[in-house]
Amino acid sequence: MSDIYIFKDKYEIESEEIEEIRRILAIRYAISTEGYSATKSIEISSSISRQSAVMLQENSSALTGVNITVEPIRQYHMGNLASHVIGYMGRISDKNKAEFEENGDTHEYESNDKVGQAGIEKVFEEYLRGIDGIKQIDMDVDGSITGEYVSQEAIGGTDIVLTIDANLQEVAERALAANIEKIKAGGFSKAYNAKGGCVVVTKVKTGEILAMASWPDYEPAIFYNGISTEKLNEYNQLNVWRNKAIQNPYAPGSIFKMVTAIAGLETGVTDTKERINDIGVYPAAHEPECWYYGSYGRGHGPINITQAIEKSCNFFFYEIGNRMGIDTLSKYASYFGLGRKTGIELTGEVSGVLAKRSITEDEGTPWVVGNTLVAAIGQGYNDFTPVQMAKYLSMVANGGNNVEMSIIKSVVNSDGTEVSDEQLNEFLDKKLNRPQKEDVQIDPIKEETMKAVFAGMKSVTETGTASSIFQNFDIEVGGKTGSAETSSKANADVNAWFAGFAPYDDPEIAIIVLVENGGHGYYTAEVAKEIITEYFGINAKVIHEDMTVSSEIEKIR
């Protein structure tokens, strides 16, 4: 006799149909593992059809103890949009309970409760959840409900209003995905096996994040009732879990060169008039080459700092880095927020690494000139997250003023009152274990310095490496391309960056685009162009500015 018939006899199941026996045994198993009594029910089915619900209600007298309840569910009306930002919900786990206990959360959870597992859903679980109500239920001896009334009203959760612009987010995601596929297909020239990427768009004066896209993404809705094994395996293979904008640090390559330029001009090791003669091979340390020498067998010749940004001349920045030294360079980079967390309101943000003397000296190895040279062009020990690069670019675009990166616009209670900034920051500091803010002091950056840097970035989009993308574009853009090798080995991946702001004369937004193994930085400039087009309504016949904050993406649960 098979096991199923042993349990059939044990539980006195009369049916002879195998599938029906299995269903009954599943209920019996749930009763034995989860517990069941007249006051503690178990769920035997969810998401039943309206027709089934009506049928059960009509036959309730014959189905003693069986009741239909209506429960709220989490819906994601905009599909995958901003999935890494919003996150997803799933059934509570022992790990969740341990985290709640560690954070001092005293709420009593049931075994079937759904809680935030990632993104905003996880960070603001305590706020989004609200407070459960209490319903008094009267039953007869058979377990049938004879009456019920509410003894304590439930309190709805808060609305978490994001700074994300839903339209801009959609454009960023679509443009990024299309760009990655185009690079893979050799749509620019040589094909590269692009592995993923991310985009961050900010308001340069405030640090508000208007879009944050990470590819590949996932579908939040499928986690609510349990993801299938097949889909889970697919997601694991694609490695969709990481928000590349905050969790993955990368060498920035040439988009770091504005730091070196600003530090050099502000400390007086060079000025806007000096012309440094790029002879191709830098005569110090390991004698690194300018990329131009590798391509054309000669250097750029005598150029000033604005031209060095336009042409991305490694030789020029080797010399500036060598003159100022690593301590000065790392101080300015730190001022721009590089190598430390931005404090954005999401889980999993990493600090990255800023090239500085202590990295080697703490290990008993002297810092050498060669380390400084490669640091000055954004390589070597430098590894930063794209959101850090977005903070840095925003500060460059606004003239060097600090901004605090944020993805939260407001937190609104169910009674319409707003959670204060002080209360919110206290909650986030504890929840995310945010470090105390570092106060790196430098003198105010001179207007002459920023003009020279801006001019170089404008030349990048007009006559330099990104000119083919922005040719005849309706808005003037300041930009910088970067192609950063992931190692010194032959055939190493080359990550592609674009950093840009617009409009040039009075910047409003800054855009960072990264494609893993994207080959060349200018390839990714197409993504920024589409975002700028959307933001400024280019080609739109009528532009209406919506002053309300009510999009689906901005209201969470």
Please report, as a single letter, which amino acid is at residue 243.
Answer: N
Token pair listed for 71: 């429960």
CA-only gyration radius of the chain, Å: 29
Q: How far apart are CA 16 and CA 8, in angstroms?
A: 9
Q: With cut-offs at 50, 70 and 90, classify the pLDDT of residue 146.
A: low
Give the 3-state secondary structure percentages of the chain, helix then strand then coil, rounded to 5.
40, 15, 45
Position 140 scores a pLDDT of 63
Please report, as a single letter, which amino acid is at residue 318.
Answer: Y
Position 136 scores a pLDDT of 63
Q: With cut-offs at 50, 70 and 90, classify the pLDDT of residue 542.
A: very low
Q: What CA dihedral angle connects 174, 179, 182 and 184, to 10 degrees?
A: -110
Strand partners, 499: 480, 512
Least confident of 137-151, 196-210, 239-253, 472-486: 137-151
Position 382 scores a pLDDT of 98
DSSP for 157-192? PPEEEES--HHHHHHHHHHHHHHHHHHHTTSSSS--
Residues 343 and 437 sit within 8 Å (Cβ to Cβ): yes
Residues 116 and 345 sit within 8 Å (Cβ to Cβ): no
Q: Which of 495, 498, 494, 496 is nearest to 528 (CA)?
A: 498
Q: How would you classify the pairing of strands 114-116 and 145-152?
A: unpaired
Strand partners, 303: 276
Least confident of 63-72, 84-93, 189-198, 301-310: 63-72
Q: Which of 311, 315, 261, 316 is nearest to 287 (CA)?
A: 315
Helix (H) or strand (E) holding 422: helix 421-432
Residues 166 and 203 sit within 8 Å (Cβ to Cβ): no
Residues 93 and 113 sit within 8 Å (Cβ to Cβ): no
Position 392 scores a pLDDT of 98
Q: Which of 431, 468, 434 is nearest to 127 (CA)?
A: 431
Residues 467 and 529 sit within 8 Å (Cβ to Cβ): no
Token pair listed for 74: 């989490």
Q: Which long-range contacts (CB under 8 A, 24 or more apart) does 135-139 make?
A: 137/39, 139/38
Question: Mean of the pLDDT values across residues 131-154?
Answer: 60
Q: 29-33, 507-511, 541-545 — which one is most confidently predicted on average?
A: 507-511
Q: How far apart are CA 511 and CA 397, in angstroms?
A: 11
CA-based angle 479:481:486, to the nearest 5? Answer: 150
Q: 144-158, 292-306, 435-449 — which one is most confidently predicted on average?
A: 292-306
Higher per-residue confidence, 462 vs 155: 462
143 pLDDT more than 80: no
Please report, as a single letter, which amino acid is at residue 502.
Answer: A
Position 425 scores a pLDDT of 94
Q: How far apart are CA 6 and CA 21, in angstroms?
A: 11
| Angle between the N-to-C axes of helices 369-376 and 326-335, in degrees from 0 to 180, rounded to the nearest 10 | 30
Q: With cut-offs at 50, 70 and 90, classify the pLDDT of residue 25.
A: confident
Strand partners, 149: 136
31 pLDDT more than 90: no
Helix (H) or strand (E) holding 90: strand 89-91
Q: Mean of the per-residue pLDDT values for the chain? A: 88
Residues 6+ apart with CB under 8 A from 485: 251, 253, 379, 492, 493, 494
Position 268 scores a pLDDT of 98
281 pLDDT more than 80: yes
Helix (H) or strand (E) holding 79: none
Q: pLDDT tens digits for 55-92?
A: 777 776 666 667 666 566 667 878 899 999 999 999 88
Residues 223 and 325 sit within 8 Å (Cβ to Cβ): no
